Chain A
């Protein structure tokens, strides 16, 4: 069978190709000084090859893509977050030691001692660039001196400059040997027009020296700023100052303890956690934010349940017509994408331009400062979250109410009970048990309801007198996000440590929930 042979061959060469590419990638990561990452990628690709090529249980072939995605993009980030919590990873200490070293070693500065003056001269539509040793204009009047200067000067071929599109490499020729006539130099104002093209140009002298633009009248060769020593420390070539990596602080430091930016990532043990517990400046707002997170989640559960359950019970009343219409309309807030409805409320609540204050002003003559006053802001967050959340509870309760036997109500009607009595003596006790685990899930969801806070208030209004910006409507996750990605110096390490704490809180809530669900299931 010729065709099958061919397919086989194709399959094997593809496999070999994928293998080669992954090995190349692993090697690239390894040689960039990231052995752990390289090991991880290697392990993953090796596992993939094992699963798809060996005769082991083929069930894993179906499972592998999904499990690998979950392992790499869900499980690993959670573990990695915990690990980052033990480091000083931040915008100041962003790079690994290798990359920070490489960054410093790449730094160059203009070598002013070997700088040359330049002038531009028109050559038809193009320009010639002339480099001469630094000198006073008066020197040119002396013919001998001028001769000597010309001997050390260089000229470029005609260049497009302003019209040039890409960075150019220019080979300079000795001016003495060049027979072309060179006119008067262009005035500075003309030269400045070509600044961008000049900055992108590299001039190469006949002796191989390479010069770059270093000022409006100068080109100079670049020289390295740092030199690496055998023990990993760096010497600044200018003044021979030695900077050693300090693995406590994560910076290169000299003998006097002066730090060199950028720093690098090092493990700092429990420092981030100590800060949460013992640093009074940090602990104050942190505890307030934690308290608000709990209050916010709990009140959200209470309010959404109050509204949602009332509606579910009312809409369960068979004497009422148009119940489907009501249900559909009342469900709408849940169907609108939350990022849109939250932003709509952000606009509606705006103090000066918002429609809510327009109505309140017309009716009562008040314009509450929803975004500036801490209490009002918290109230607004709760109002908006109740609007967002009640339809879900309504749907849940509607489902649970169907399971309540109708004869209970018949019996209570015979006994002459009022609707409220019905609700508190029959309905509520019967549905509260199956509802509790669901409500705890709602609590857990709102505990981490980052989108609401991030889009509605950004955590504002902020507490006064805190070192790290912290807001009165911030919940723990939005505070973490601010520390990591916003205004406070991108302290990833601290943010990761807080995330780890939240991680354990969420785990605890879920554990309680699972216990409750199990108790309920056992009773049935």
Chain B
């Protein structure tokens, strides 16, 4: 930069570096500490932060392998972490797929078709998403309690019920995909229609293949969003083998049964892949959203 630099510039730069490194240290310490705790024998804070003795007991338990202690007692894994992880992935995968499906078709209508009440519906959607699901937990519980009386496979304590409960949260996704569709020239589909394609064929075979990048972004966003969702899942799922990771993890740190080391291993095991996916998605989000944000 063409700014005239002062004499003490070098000191300032040095101070800034030092400050930033200290801050990074403080901010990342909790994350590093968890990795260290997961490798430390025992469930209580003993000794130093850097483990003097590496023990894989917590990792074995997190992976569902029983551990033999020195005095011969066999410790069974306290919680079915892998099962919870699988529940979370299953629910999030199915939900994200359905969310992409229904928000893509809705976004297509908003981007390309003319119909009455268009702006009313669009504004209504945005208005609705101001109110988080936490505010309607009682009603969500009551609704699924009632549904369960008639369709037991869709009631409380079922994964199908939870998936269906998540399907309402599509407003932002519709908005994102709509923005992307509007950047694609409408002429391409019109050519297809001139060649005799129906609306559905033009959408399915022309527009959809071009929108794959944004659909992947929306899929990942929805997927991560549901993996970390706590309130609705905690209301609809109660039984241990049924829980998602977000609901189950809390059981490690109850005062009656405090399993700090076991929690640390389970947290690293499940947190690392989700963090990686999120960081990867971030890159897509930036490119995807800037591409979609420019309205035609």
Listed in ascending order, the chain A residues whose CB lies under 8 Å from chain B are 25, 28-29, 32, 34, 37, 57-60, 62-63, 65-67, 69-70, 72-81, 84, 89, 311, 314, 317-320, 322, 326, 329-330, 332-333, 335-341, 343-348, 350, 353-355, 358-359, 387, 406, 409-410, 413-414, 419, 444, 448, 450-451, 454-455, 477, 480-481, 484-485, 492, 495-496, 499, 502-503, 506-507, 510
The answer on a CB contact under 8 Å between A406 and B132 is no
The answer on a CB contact under 8 Å between A337 and B138 is no
Which residues of the other chain, B, contact A340 by a CB distance below 8 angstroms? 249, 267, 270-271, 274
Which residues of the other chain, A, contact B19 by a CB distance below 8 angstroms? 314
The answer on a CB contact under 8 Å between B3 and A413 is yes
- Stretch binding the partner chain, chosen from B62-70, B71-79, B169-177, B214-222: B169-177
Q: How far is the CB of A417 from chain B (nearest CB, A)?
A: 10
Picked from A89, A338, A355, A503, the residue with its CB within 8 Å of the CB of B49 is A355
Q: How far is the CB of B48 from chain A (nearest CB, A)?
A: 9
The answer on a CB contact under 8 Å between B27 and A333 is yes
Chain B's closest residue to A413 (CB) is: B3
Which residues of the other chain, A, contact B17 by a CB distance below 8 angstroms? 320, 322
The answer on a CB contact under 8 Å between B168 and A81 is no
Known contacts A74-B169, A84-B142: A66-B16 contact under CB 8 Å: no
Residue of A34, A74, A444, A450 with most partner-chain B CB within 10 A: A74
The answer on a CB contact under 8 Å between A339 and B30 is no
Q: How far is the CB of A24 from chain B (nearest CB, A)?
A: 10
Known contacts A57-B115, A332-B31, A506-B131: A499-B249 contact under CB 8 Å: no
The answer on a CB contact under 8 Å between A319 and B138 is no
Chain B's closest residue to A513 (CB) is: B130
Q: How far is the CB of A298 from chain B (nearest CB, A)?
A: 19
Q: In the complex, A66→B103 CA distance in Å?
A: 6
Q: In the complex, A327→B141 CA distance in Å?
A: 41
Listed in ascending order, the chain B residues whose CB lies under 8 Å from chain A are 1-5, 9, 12-13, 16-17, 19-20, 23-24, 27-28, 30-31, 33-34, 37, 43-45, 49, 101-103, 105-106, 108-110, 113-116, 121, 125, 128-143, 146, 149-151, 164-171, 174, 199, 203, 224, 227-228, 230-231, 234-235, 245-246, 249-250, 252-253, 258, 260, 263-264, 267, 270-271, 274-275, 278-279, 282
Chain A's closest residue to B19 (CB) is: A314
Q: How far is the CB of A461 from chain B (nearest CB, A)?
A: 13
Q: In the complex, A422→B23 CA distance in Å?
A: 23
- Tally the A-B contacts, defined by beta carbons under 8 Å: 254
Q: In the complex, A355→B101 CA distance in Å?
A: 46
Interface SS, B side: helix
The answer on a CB contact under 8 Å between B132 and A448 is yes
Which residues of the other chain, A, contact B135 by a CB distance below 8 angstroms? 78, 81, 448, 477, 499, 502-503, 506
Chain B's closest residue to A447 (CB) is: B132
Which residues of the other chain, B, contact A80 by a CB distance below 8 angstroms? 136, 139, 142-143
Q: How far is the CB of B49 from chain A (nearest CB, A)?
A: 6
Known contacts A340-B249, A355-B33: A29-B150 contact under CB 8 Å: yes
Which residues of the other chain, A, contact B169 by a CB distance below 8 angstroms? 74
Which residues of the other chain, A, contact B250 by a CB distance below 8 angstroms? 343, 455
Known contacts A355-B33, A355-B45, A484-B137: A343-B253 contact under CB 8 Å: yes
The answer on a CB contact under 8 Å between A67 and B106 is yes
Known contacts A59-B109, A484-B137: A339-B168 contact under CB 8 Å: no
5 contacts between A and B (CB under 8 A): A59-B109, A62-B203, A340-B267, A353-B45, A477-B135
Q: In the complex, A76→B253 CA distance in Å?
A: 35
Interface SS, A side: helix
Residue of A337, A406, A409, A503 with most partner-chain B CB within 10 A: A337
Which residues of the other chain, A, contact B139 by a CB distance below 8 angstroms? 76-81, 84, 496
Picked from B20, B164, B171, B278, the residue with its CB within 8 Å of the CB of A326 is B20
Which residues of the other chain, A, contact B13 by a CB distance below 8 angstroms? 319-320
Q: In the complex, A25→B146 CA distance in Å?
A: 13
The answer on a CB contact under 8 Å between B4 and A74 is no
The answer on a CB contact under 8 Å between A454 and B230 is yes
Which residues of the other chain, B, contact A62 by a CB distance below 8 angstroms? 105-106, 108-109, 113, 203
The answer on a CB contact under 8 Å between B27 and A350 is no
Q: How far is the CB of B110 from chain A (nearest CB, A)?
A: 8
Q: In the complex, A353→B44 CA distance in Å?
A: 6
Which residues of the other chain, A, contact B30 by a CB distance below 8 angstroms? 341, 344-345, 348, 387
The answer on a CB contact under 8 Å between B231 and A66 is no
Q: In the complex, A347→B13 CA distance in Å?
A: 36
The answer on a CB contact under 8 Å between B230 and A455 is yes
Picked from B5, B116, B128, B151, the residue with its CB within 8 Å of the CB of A75 is B128
The answer on a CB contact under 8 Å between B105 and A73 is no
Which residues of the other chain, B, contact A451 by a CB distance below 8 angstroms? 230-231
